[in-house]
Amino acid sequence: MTDRREQAVAILRENRHEGYTIPSSTLYPYQWNWDSAFIAVGLAHVDEAAAKQELRTLLDAMWPNGMVPQIAFWADAEGYFPGPDEWEAGTDEVATSGITQPPMLVPAARRVYEVTSDDAFRDEMLPLLDQHLSWWVDERSFDGDTVYVRHPWATGMDDSPAWVPVLESFDPADIATNLDYARKDRKSADLSEQRPTDWDYDRYVALVRQGKALDWDESRLREVCPFLVEDVLTNSIFVRACDDLAALYAGAGDEAKADEWRRQAEHSRAGMRERLWDEELGTFVSYDRVNDRKLRVNSVAGLVSVFGEVPTNEQFGRLRENLRENFLDYDYACPSYVGPDMDYDRYWRGPAWMNVNWLLADGLRRYGAVDTADRIEEDSLELLEEEGFREYFNPETGAGRGSDRFSWSAALYLDWAS
Ligand code: 9YW
């Protein structure tokens, strides 16, 4: 094993708690939803039992209605805001946050199944994954095709410039009575420059307090929450999740169910092509349902539509041009955002992230864009080799940013390097 490979395995071991892996011991000391999915993909190469358990534990936190929470607070920990007392959400078994994250756990479960060929694991997962994806369709879709989220944290790309117009459209004081809080995420002067601003945080916290005041009641929140967004990244992963669930059902011999989810994938894909495509930018964008408008920014999220095979061939041609001209013109692929106020060091406003590179490379291969996928994977490996398992990276200099010993960076290294 190379040194880096040994280090990656050591990080996953060190961040492992009982049955799940925390994203980072310095910044995120609980179980996070899509982090666990990427972690399971990596763990499958080195510890199949742990990979399966990672997903089982995540699904143990599923709400009775089928929502899989963004955070499961399985054990007490210090150093994170907002913690369980702030959210007041969860199940009889575990306290959780009151929002979800992109349903990456379904593609991850398919991957883990393919690596392990464990039919019992697949059969155990099927009804749970079905319940979760059904929740998206039943509770989180206005039209039955595209799905929405109600918090920037739910998108996984917290401070994407795409959310600014929505966050500007309301006054935090109008939706939450108390706006006092203390951030715990800026543990050093450097991190202050690399994390979301206070302006963003005021709005994140106000949305949490609104949800809590309404007991996380979906139908009431649908009426009053000012952030109801059809996020392009969530939708692309959702479409892929529907296809992957269909494939798992087909393998288990349940053709009726396989058909049902294939049809859902097609229907959601069609909705995205119709409403989320932006010809001028050459990408897919998110949609603000409250103010009925596209959120027109050139974010890597739009490119990740290839992960769900969303672009038609014609759209793909345009998207690929956009990728080449605007995103690959940096020393390291792939900036999370390009455009006005791009910030190479700040979180989702410019830095390159390994999970997004992984999704993008996977999707590009589906379109036969092998060279571009190779370039993204090679750059990613180089960043990880040179800088270690950082949370994100400056796309111009390659400097590591955010937390160190970050779990999904280690896990995806294991997948790429295997
Ligand atoms: C937060 C844990 C999470 C990721 C998100 C990333 C960040 C901050 O960290 O969110 O407090 O939830 O934006 O994608 O899941 O690694």
The residue annotated as part of the active site, out of 35, 231, 288, 391, is 391
Give the Cα separation of 25 and 109 in Å (integer). Answer: 25
Q: ipTM of this predicted complex?
A: 0.98
Give the Cα separation of 24 and 14 in Å (integer). Answer: 10
Torsion of CA 399, 400, 401, 405, to 10 degrees: -170
Ligand 1 proximal residues by C-beta, below 6 Å: 23, 28, 32, 34-35, 153, 156, 158
- 185 part of the active site: no
Give the Cα separation of 56 and 71 in Å (integer). Answer: 14
How many whole angstroms from 5 Cα to the centroid of ligand 1? Answer: 24
At 33, is the secondary structure helix, strand, or coil? helix
Pocket test for ligand 1, best of 22, 32, 36, 337 (most atoms within 8 A of CB): 32
pLDDT at position 392:
98
Other CB atoms within 10 A of residue 78 CB: 7
Give the Cα separation of 269 and 71 in Å (integer). Answer: 28
How many whole angstroms from 133 Cα to the centroid of ligand 1? Answer: 21
Give the Cα separation of 112 and 117 in Å (integer). Answer: 8
Pocket test for ligand 1, best of 25, 158, 184 (most atoms within 8 A of CB): 158
The residue annotated as part of the active site, out of 86, 158, 309, 404, is 158
Ligand 1: residue whose CA is nearest its atom 12: 153
pLDDT at position 349:
97
Query: Distances in Å between the alpha carbon of 158 and those of 149, 260, 341, 367?
Result: 12, 32, 16, 28
- Nearest CA to 240 among 108, 141, 139? 108
At 35, is the secondary structure helix, strand, or coil? helix
Ligand 1: residue whose CA is nearest its atom 7: 156
Q: Which helix (H) or strand (E) holds 338?
A: strand 337-338
pLDDT in tens, the chain (418 residues): 579 999 999 999 999 999 999 999 999 999 999 999 999 999 999 999 999 999 999 999 999 999 999 999 999 999 899 999 999 999 999 999 999 999 999 999 999 999 999 999 999 999 999 999 999 999 999 999 999 999 999 999 999 999 999 999 999 999 999 999 999 988 887 888 889 999 999 999 999 999 999 999 999 999 999 999 999 999 999 999 999 999 999 999 999 999 999 999 999 999 999 999 999 999 999 999 999 999 999 999 999 999 999 999 999 999 999 999 999 999 999 999 999 999 999 999 999 999 999 999 999 999 999 999 999 999 999 999 999 999 999 999 999 999 999 999 999 999 999 8
Atom of ligand 1 at shortest range from CA of 156: 14
DSSP labels for 1-18? --HHHHHHHHHHHHTB-S
pLDDT at position 1:
53
Give the Cα separation of 404 and 341 in Å (integer). Answer: 26
Ligand 1: residue whose CA is nearest its atom 1: 153
Pocket test for ligand 1, best of 28, 36, 184, 355 (most atoms within 8 A of CB): 28
At 294, is the secondary structure helix, strand, or coil? strand
DSSP 229: E
Ligand 1: residue whose CA is nearest its atom 6: 156
Q: Which helix (H) or strand (E) holds 166?
A: helix 164-168
How many whole angstroms from 162 Cα to the centroid of ligand 1? Answer: 17
Give the Cα separation of 105 and 62 in Å (integer). Answer: 12
Give the Cα separation of 413 and 407 in Å (integer). Answer: 10
How many whole angstroms from 156 Cα to the centroid of ligand 1? Answer: 6
Query: Distances in Å between the alpha carbon of 66 and those of 132, 140, 141, 255, 266?
Result: 5, 11, 14, 23, 22
Angle formed by the axes of helices 354-366 and 33-43, to 10°? Answer: 70
DSSP 181: -
Determine phi and psi for 180, rounding to 5 degrees. -80, 135
Atom of ligand 1 at shortest range from CA of 24: 16
Atom of ligand 1 at shortest range from CA of 23: 16
Tokens describing residue 136: 């998206």
DSSP labels for 122-161? HHHHHHHHHHHHHHHHHHS-SSSSS--BSSGGGGS-TT-G
Round to the nearest angstrom and report the end-to-end CA distance of the chain.
10
- Nearest CA to 215 among 114, 303, 87? 87
At 109, is the secondary structure helix, strand, or coil? helix
295 neighbors 357 (Cβ within 8 angstroms): no
- 158 part of the active site: yes
Half-sphere exposure of 291 (CA within 13 A, CB side): 16
Q: Which helix (H) or strand (E) holds 250?
A: helix 232-251
Query: Distances in Å between the alpha carbon of 283 and those of 267, 306, 310, 311, 372?
Result: 19, 10, 11, 9, 17
Give the Cα separation of 365 and 245 in Å (integer). Answer: 20
208 neighbors 151 (Cβ within 8 angstroms): yes
